[in-house]
Structure 1
Amino acid sequence: MAFTRAAGKHRRPSALSRRSANIAGVAALTTTGVIGTLAPQAFAADQDLAAEETGSIRAVVMEDSVTETLAERVEAQATAQREAYEKAEAQRKAEEARKAEIKRKAEAKVRQEREERARAAREAERKRLNAYRLPVAGSYVSTGYKAGGAMWSSGSHSGVDFHASSGSSVVAVGSGTVVEAGWGGAYGNNVVIRMNDGSYTQYGHLASIGVSVGQSVTPGQQIGLSGSTGNSSGPHLHFEARTSAEYGSDIDPVAYLRSHGVSV
């Protein structure tokens, strides 16, 4: 008896049938657009990825731009602050220089004024030391030079007599150095001064002497008090001008004083 296969739903399709069915299915999917539908979805996904990447790049670019702008602002602010500081520092230095210049000028003015005062004081002192004056302030000549009489051993007056009451102040007529101070015989108490110009002056008949040998004197400095010591007829000052310290070198005392600007 010949063997026969069972027919019906329990029978498994042959491999050829399955292959054919698969092919048919693929064709059907293609025909129905399933594969066509999948293709656009994949493309859309690619587009989304590209868009996302583009957005990321754009975000990075924007972020870099913002960062760069912020850095520029910070740098600009720093530059402005530096310029403001440098300007303020320049103004401060200029103000300090201005104040220093004002101070320098003020100090220079003070120095100049001080020097001018010192120069004026020196000039005044020089004039004072070079000035001459009467040996008795406000006095006058009571007996003239070369007057004759028995009172003088030489027969004539070797000097002049200035009117002076007893105890009147007798001063040096100019600057010089005392070379004699004491008793002078007929001159009584007397003082002899070597003047700075090399001449000599003598003051006789003093009641008292107020200087000593070697002492420097200036015009108007008191050297003694008038009196009537020695060969004297009464209180007065005997005054002589000489070219040397020796007796007999006398010159006209009035002419001598007038040559030094003294009104006699």
Structure 2
Amino acid sequence: MAFSRPTGKHRAPNRLTRRTASVAGVATLATAGVIGTLASPAMAEGPEVPAAQQTRLDRTIFVEDTVADRISAQATAQQHEAARAEARAKAVAKAKAAAKAKAEREREAKAAEQRAARAAARKRLNAFVPPVANSYVSTGYKTGGSLWSSGSHTGIDFHAASGTPVHAVGAGTVVEAGWGGAYGNNIVIKMHDGTYTQYGHLSSIGVSVGQSVTSDQQIALSGATGNATGPHLHFEARSGPDYGSDIDPVAYLRSHGVHV
């Protein structure tokens, strides 16, 4: 197969090819006798390079130079591809790390939110409030008189006009809601700490037996039903659900942080 060097302005001969071409040119001129008179005696007497041998040498150098260029180009391309692959791997690793950090932050935020919700629930469960807002005790505990069948007051009365909102002093479950004889319309709640609270002389009831209530939840409106001389709220604290198990309601509320 014959090889020929591509011509044209787009490919300049490399250094090795130019040198080989120069040698071939000199050999050709020497063979033709053109530079015989210009060369030194030693050069003139030197052995001539046959044209066919010089042509084979030129072709061999050209082929080797082309293969070397291709190998160099392939190596450069492989280096570039390796660099791009490394950059892609770093980008993927960075994205994964960012996603993991985001997920961890979201988990921590959710856990903090859940802890706050549990703390708020515990606070609501343990918090106590007065049964009537912005009021005062008009009749104290164990006050004596003929108004009470036992001879003394078994609870305390809070000053309240008829229709004043009445609130559960703490969280618990309604165990009685309805008519209570001398107490008129009344509600009894079993508190979460095992004690009971009673609310009497109500004009209306807003809860039912078995219902769970939270601290400060409105459960009724005050009134003057039952054995009452005027509208007010009768409030009792009890160790059990029934009449006669009363305990000091002022001390009870104060023990739960309520100022009375």
User: What TM-score, normalized to structure 2?
Assistant: 0.78
Choose which of 190, 199, 203 in structure 2 pairs with 1:207. Answer: 203
Choose which of 149, 168, 171 in structure 1 pairs with 2:164. Answer: 168
Corresponding residue number in structure 1 for 2:62: 66
Letter in 1 for 2:86: A
SS, match of residue 150 in structure 1: coil
Q: How many pairs align?
A: 214
Where structure 2 has 5 or more consecutive residues not aligned to the other structure, the ranges are: 1-47
Choose which of 68, 72, 77 in structure 2 pairs with 1:76. Answer: 72
SS, match of residue 197 in structure 2: strand
Choose which of 200, 203, 226 in structure 2 pairs with 1:230. Answer: 226
Distance in structure 1 (CA, Å) of the matches to 2:137 and 2:53: 127
Distance in structure 2 (CA, Å) of the matches to 1:70 and 1:125: 82
Q: Report whether the alignment pairs 1:184 with 2:183.
A: no
Corresponding residue number in structure 2 for 1:116: 112
Give the deviation of 1:237 after TM superposition. Answer: 0.5
Choose which of 239, 250, 256 in structure 1 pairs with 2:246. Answer: 250
Greater alpha carbon shift after TM alignment, 120-129 vs 233-242 = 120-129
Distance in structure 1 (CA, Å) of the matches to 2:244 and 2:57: 125
Distance in structure 2 (CA, Å) of the matches to 1:248 and 1:58: 132
Kindly indicate which of the two structures has a greater share of residues assigned to helix: 1
Aligned counterparts, 1:28-177, within 5 A: 54-177=50-173
Letter in 2 for 1:253: P
Letter in 1 for 2:252: Y
Letter in 1 for 2:90: A
Where structure 1 has 5 or more consecutive residues not aligned to the other structure, the ranges are: 1-50
Greater alpha carbon shift after TM alignment, 74-83 vs 95-104 = 95-104
Letter in 1 for 2:144: G
Distance in structure 1 (CA, Å) of the matches to 2:102 and 2:62: 59
SS, match of residue 188 in structure 2: strand
Distance in structure 1 (CA, Å) of the matches to 2:160 and 2:135: 7
